[in-house]
Structure 1
């Protein structure tokens, strides 16, 4: 089994000490990406639940250790260059956030007399609710001794209703949490020991706070709220932390902008964002403040003057900002599951790490008429419609984005008013043609229309170019379904207005392909049945029969002559899905509503072969045999229990049938079935050995994509459902060759002429095989002393574990 589609933006990432790698929390693991290529080079596997934070241990450029926390209740210590798990700490509570103040301290750690390393963690304690005076407080801030691998007993800094994210200052002197309309800030003692006491203060605000950040050098804290305002408190903690009891400034006139008895000299409010502020971040020198939110614009504030500059048109809400040890590199995480690497201070986007895009929200009135994705079964791709009016082509085998198509040019709109909807996307059987349907909503009853577009894939790449645009293909009504002919340039569109249209491409009729750069699509025929809404369509395996659902009836047509051949069946509810099975001996239909029904029709007798009353979300049919896969959603009254616990509201099952037998061959329980989809995918030979293919290279795989666009790819006939990870070597070959090794990793590259001389030597030696013969190569006047060179080189290969000793 292959799993993919993980979120890259559930938690902020972290840069390595040399800024060459970016560590990203991806579900139960941490993925290591190269900042030069934006491709994955390693993965840290070991957690059994969502990873919530990753912290890189500071040090030299060659040091590659990090701490991770997870909802599985463990804190783990890794060497991510190998990668290898070094140490695991079980704290017995789900960990939502962690900070390590000593890693931010300005003075270097004393390695001769090392002290214990302490971390502050935000956890959720639901086990001891009965023994608490206030049972609603499940969030706690605890102190953990990382060196001795245990919690510090008796230290609970705070209790909150829910676990809160911990924010720490860049100098490691202060950390805090937001709690509704106030900030709680603690001072880290200069000697952070086991039983040391912590002083704290609180700052109040009139609205619920969403994020905050500390100034790197001064006692300034900035906080953003849910309305888009930014509050700047200056001189916080002068009474609490400085111990100056003589300045009890409680008069509002002496503390302008500070509410209540807040311990700050003054407060200033800035307001540019129209919605919730998602993150705040101070520059390393403290002169600028970065902010962003739902608008998809990165705002840079000059702290002294309040002047602004912008990085606009990112096209999606922003979630977090992280700087790197290299001052010219930073990253921003976006709500569309993408991480941009920025060149600072110009804020130019250098690279993008793209995961599968999240579902695009649609108004309730269009909920049943939108299709989230389509599958390219031959190439193992899924086409996903996104929130910014794009179609993303994503590889299920490689778990990465292949390309993106901008269907309609529209700027990102932060408001909740939807004016454009990307309804449908469909791919031809060979993946060479794509069809999209978009709807522009009427404003005050004026200006609404539907657009049908055909796209062609380029011969040299995976990019699609626009071929034909058809405005209002079915007058002023919406398109309900799109289906492609299996062997030729033909497609059919069905509409709720009571008709369907057959479209043909002129490419096949061209005498010289060079005369026509693009195929043009034109209407070939129009059909209808009793003026009933046409709700689904499908071609047979050879394309000789076209099945169109006329509400509760199934009509069979000759697509070439546009002749009605037969009318079969009568469902209780409107049919929303049609598909021919195998060699078209069977036809499957699915209807939804109060009386849902899944029916398999025999094409030889034109009658129902078998049927079930199932709430069907999606169906998939194999083109090589008579296999049928059905994704069903459990109704509330018949949900099973797994391990003694009821399943979630959106849980379901995948049922695998042989079309000639109503008894399922196999079944699998799944989560997030609402909005999900399934498809049979042709096997990729590069993964056959690890997917239990039963010595049959022609076996197809079954792909399941859930409502959050997470997916699983597995062999439905496999005897074992073990999980197979997509290794970095599967994604790209020779990726590690772009890095630096040996001498170059410590002191930089040798002069170019020296490298050429090595390459031109009579007996060349591959550096990866025998690195010791070339590591110390170079002119004698350029090399450091041997004692310094050897100690630095050995230090880069060995790991000091003095901090791990009790």
Structure 2
């Protein structure tokens, strides 16, 4: 069982001390990626809710420890080189952000001398009464990590909602933004449970969005929602000063509002929208900023001069420095993390997550997510906001490549002028079709475009084969389906017709060699001028089913002859799928009267039906099974238990045998709206790692929810009782020359192989010193036993003669 598709950009990532690994918060886990290969090498599993903070403990390149905080209310301490959980602290309140000033920027030697380590948490107090005039759900609290307890009764600040905490790289200051204010605390030199952090407040006329501290000087920068950047210099000298510091209170403070504790405040303005990224360089000479424009701006702090890294292609969300000054990362809104070579800012590698869902304009707002699945290779094709198609590996949980359907340069605030409404793949994954609609401007100039793509034999990427403008005159396309064995496709139209398309490879011409592979219209069909709303080929391709609004028409695709008409349903049919080796046909109708219907092809009659709102249908290729993703009505959700309601399960996957209306199995799921469902051919590597009884399933079922998170499992297994599966196994090994952890100290351990099927009892080896130190470091016997056995193995054994 595999789950994946999590967002990589929900929280800032963190580099390891050797900068060879990047720790990324991905839903309930922390995924560890190699910075040299951009592939995942390990994961930290244990949290039961989203991980919101990951903090690597500074130290030598050998030590690999980190703290994590989560919405499940726990703080955990890990050795991520193993990986192994070392400590858990439960604060019993959701943690939205965490900083640990006492370990930030401190040498490893000083960390070892600390008696107590304190963290500052941004939590949500759900016990706050809603009937209060101003309910303050967010709180800044202090926690003793060493003693595993909260500092009782100490609330540094209350806010309407939990806010993100930013800490300086020196560990002396931390702060939050609160609407138009900036709250900055000074961490006591010797922090303890009784010591209180002093606070100052800096004011602005606009709502603030992000802040950053200078690494060495008393300079704090903040960005607002209008695109301005404010830089306060010399903050806190009056409030945070000690007796040895002299402060002139009568000196003028240019740019500072009111009685704010700062020497000066300057404003920079380049961004046209909200500033989302703000970070100082490690030496403090530059300030990095970014936002919706998709441009990283580098400001020279002394002069205000700037240079740019343009055309990143997506809004920027986070900039992270590493212990290696030549390496940084930047997180983008399209679920990408770029590794940057500094100071040239060249993109070295990219960690590609699944593209996140996006909204559609106008009448396409309710358009479904439109997933297309490659049955044989385990890829899913999904539409991107930049008018492209991303191919994502469900077995490996990483992006493969993208196909740009139409060119688009990312511009902030530009109106969406093109919508990719459909994507379809052939069963063998060698052909793809896309439908794009150019939106009309003031009711003029709309255009529908049908494109066919072919998979390259060498690079295994799709290239454009044929472009067809207005394939159904000025009508929109409702569905595209491929023939299961031939280079043939059908497109149905709301204008009242469907067209059968063939690639010229299918047109046999004697004595003539075809140089280019293009698509042409073979036939056109219609039924009583009704809108054609769905289409599907049978398993052998001999029958074409096309929905004419509320009835189903059956055609011979080669002769374009109407064979039969079956139906009728109460609402227009939106989905058709052949099931049970094409002996049955599954149809789905939605508003105003949703209906799931199963039709018997031999009798041309309705077999059984349900009044269900179906979001997606998946039919098994070789079995008599099909699965549907159903949305639970609000009335039934209200009758669920409190636990189910709190888990947010709003849908169900139902597995049917086509001949029986009683479901074979069912699973409740979250975020079903906009989800997808499909059967996939079993992956050999997946079967080797997950099938222990030898009964390998031929097909697996994948569920992708509305947030593009997915679960891949065997629907016929008794173990698949709930859709909350474990992280996949067999992660990529760390492809680096350097060694970390145990191997860096003692060298590589010899490979230990165990014969699972051998029935021969084990016999003590005559050369025990070769295997005495084999095994994991945390499982080795104590030194008292190891030394005795090791010394004994070095002594020469003599055989005494018996007289």
Q: Do the structures match in fold with TM over 0.5?
A: yes
Residues 123, 162 of structure 2: 8 Å contact kept: yes
How far did 1:312 drift? 1.4
- Deviation larger for 679-688 or 328-337: 679-688
CA distance in 2: counterparts of 1:332 and 1:737, whole angstroms: 22
Q: What secondary structure is seen at the aligned counterpart in 2 of 1:115?
A: coil
TM-score by length of 2: 0.88
- 1:340 maps to which residue? 338
Q: What secondary structure is seen at the aligned counterpart in 1 of 2:472?
A: coil
Pairing 1:9-88 to 2, within 5 Å after superposition: 9-88=9-88
- 2:658 maps to which residue? 659
- 2:555 maps to which residue? 557
Matched, 1:224 2:226: no
Residues 290, 299 of structure 1: 8 Å contact kept: yes
How far did 1:217 drift? 1.9
- 1:317 maps to which residue? 315
**Residues 570 and 140 of structure 1: CA distance in aligned 2, closer, same or farther (over 3 Å):** same
Residues 500, 522 of structure 2: 8 Å contact kept: yes
- Deviation larger for 632-641 or 213-222: 632-641
How far did 1:744 drift? 13
Residues 302, 308 of structure 1: 8 Å contact kept: yes
Q: What secondary structure is seen at the aligned counterpart in 2 of 1:738?
A: coil
How far did 1:127 drift? 3.4
CA distance in 2: counterparts of 1:367 and 1:555, whole angstroms: 29
How far did 1:123 drift? 1.2
How far did 1:441 drift? 1.1
**Residues 418 and 687 of structure 1: CA distance in aligned 2, closer, same or farther (over 3 Å):** same
Which deviations, in whole Å up to 9, do the C-alpha atoms of 1:70-95 show, x marking residues without a partner?
A: 11111111111111111111222211
Which deviations, in whole Å up to 9, do the C-alpha atoms of 1:738-768 show, x marking residues without a partner?
A: 3323899979xxxxxxxxxxxxxxxxxx965
CA distance in 2: counterparts of 1:587 and 1:288, whole angstroms: 64
Pairing 1:425-574 to 2, within 5 Å after superposition: 425-509=423-507, 518-574=516-572
- 2:750 maps to which residue? 769
Matched, 1:705 2:732: no
- 2:670 maps to which residue? 671
**Residues 728 and 717 of structure 1: CA distance in aligned 2, closer, same or farther (over 3 Å):** closer
Matched, 1:587 2:568: no
CA distance in 2: counterparts of 1:333 and 1:642, whole angstroms: 39
How far did 1:134 drift? 7.2
Residues 454, 465 of structure 2: 8 Å contact kept: yes
Residues 692, 720 of structure 1: 8 Å contact kept: no
Pairing 1:170-209 to 2, within 5 Å after superposition: 170-209=169-208
Query: How many residue pairs align between the two structures?
Result: 750
Residues 355, 708 of structure 2: 8 Å contact kept: yes
Pairing 1:256-271 to 2, within 5 Å after superposition: 256-271=254-269
Q: What secondary structure is seen at the aligned counterpart in 1 of 2:703?
A: strand
TM-score by length of 1: 0.88
How far did 1:190 drift? 1.4
- 1:236 maps to which residue? 235
CA distance in 1: counterparts of 2:235 and 2:504, whole angstroms: 72
Q: What secondary structure is seen at the aligned counterpart in 2 of 1:436?
A: strand
Pairing 1:616-655 to 2, within 5 Å after superposition: 616-639=614-637, 640-644=639-643, 646=645, 651-655=650-654
Pairing 1:68-467 to 2, within 5 Å after superposition: 68-105=68-105, 109-110=109-110, 113-127=113-127, 129=129, 136-242=135-241, 247-248=248-249, 254-415=252-413, 417-467=415-465
Q: What secondary structure is seen at the aligned counterpart in 1 of 2:330?
A: strand
CA distance in 2: counterparts of 1:424 and 1:133, whole angstroms: 49
**Residues 548 and 727 of structure 1: CA distance in aligned 2, closer, same or farther (over 3 Å):** closer
Which deviations, in whole Å up to 9, do the C-alpha atoms of 1:630-687 show, x marking residues without a partner?
A: 1111222332414455368881111111111111111111111110011111112322
**Residues 594 and 649 of structure 1: CA distance in aligned 2, closer, same or farther (over 3 Å):** farther
How far did 1:154 drift? 2.9
**Residues 514 and 212 of structure 1: CA distance in aligned 2, closer, same or farther (over 3 Å):** farther
CA distance in 2: counterparts of 1:702 and 1:548, whole angstroms: 26
How far did 1:509 drift? 4.2
Q: What secondary structure is seen at the aligned counterpart in 1 of 2:415?
A: coil
CA distance in 1: counterparts of 2:265 and 2:469, whole angstroms: 55
CA distance in 2: counterparts of 1:671 and 1:120, whole angstroms: 32
CA distance in 2: counterparts of 1:385 and 1:588, whole angstroms: 25
**Residues 374 and 647 of structure 1: CA distance in aligned 2, closer, same or farther (over 3 Å):** farther
Residues 37, 735 of structure 2: 8 Å contact kept: no
Residues 63, 741 of structure 2: 8 Å contact kept: no
CA distance in 2: counterparts of 1:93 and 1:350, whole angstroms: 39
Residues 373, 384 of structure 1: 8 Å contact kept: yes
Which deviations, in whole Å up to 9, do the C-alpha atoms of 1:355-389 show, x marking residues without a partner?
A: 11111321240135554310111221111111111
**Residues 477 and 600 of structure 1: CA distance in aligned 2, closer, same or farther (over 3 Å):** same
**Residues 358 and 111 of structure 1: CA distance in aligned 2, closer, same or farther (over 3 Å):** closer
CA distance in 2: counterparts of 1:586 and 1:744, whole angstroms: 59
Residues 550, 570 of structure 2: 8 Å contact kept: yes
Residues 60, 108 of structure 2: 8 Å contact kept: no
Q: What secondary structure is seen at the aligned counterpart in 1 of 2:364?
A: helix
Q: What secondary structure is seen at the aligned counterpart in 1 of 2:311?
A: coil
CA distance in 2: counterparts of 1:514 and 1:139, whole angstroms: 75
CA distance in 1: counterparts of 2:468 and 2:257, whole angstroms: 59
Q: What secondary structure is seen at the aligned counterpart in 2 of 1:191?
A: coil
Matched, 1:578 2:571: no
CA distance in 2: counterparts of 1:336 and 1:706, whole angstroms: 17
- Deviation larger for 369-378 or 396-405: 369-378
| Long gaps (5+) in structure 1 | 748-765, 772-796, 800-806
- 1:763 maps to which residue? none
Which deviations, in whole Å up to 9, do the C-alpha atoms of 1:144-197 show, x marking residues without a partner?
A: 122222222232211111111110111111101111110100001211122112
- 1:613 maps to which residue? 611
Residues 2, 728 of structure 2: 8 Å contact kept: no
CA distance in 2: counterparts of 1:431 and 1:230, whole angstroms: 49
How far did 1:112 drift? 7.5
**Residues 58 and 111 of structure 1: CA distance in aligned 2, closer, same or farther (over 3 Å):** closer
How far did 1:591 drift? 0.9
Q: What secondary structure is seen at the aligned counterpart in 1 of 2:685?
A: helix
How far did 1:21 drift? 0.6
**Residues 650 and 440 of structure 1: CA distance in aligned 2, closer, same or farther (over 3 Å):** farther
How far did 1:105 drift? 4.2
Pairing 1:714-729 to 2, within 5 Å after superposition: 714-721=713-720, 725-727=726-728, 729=730
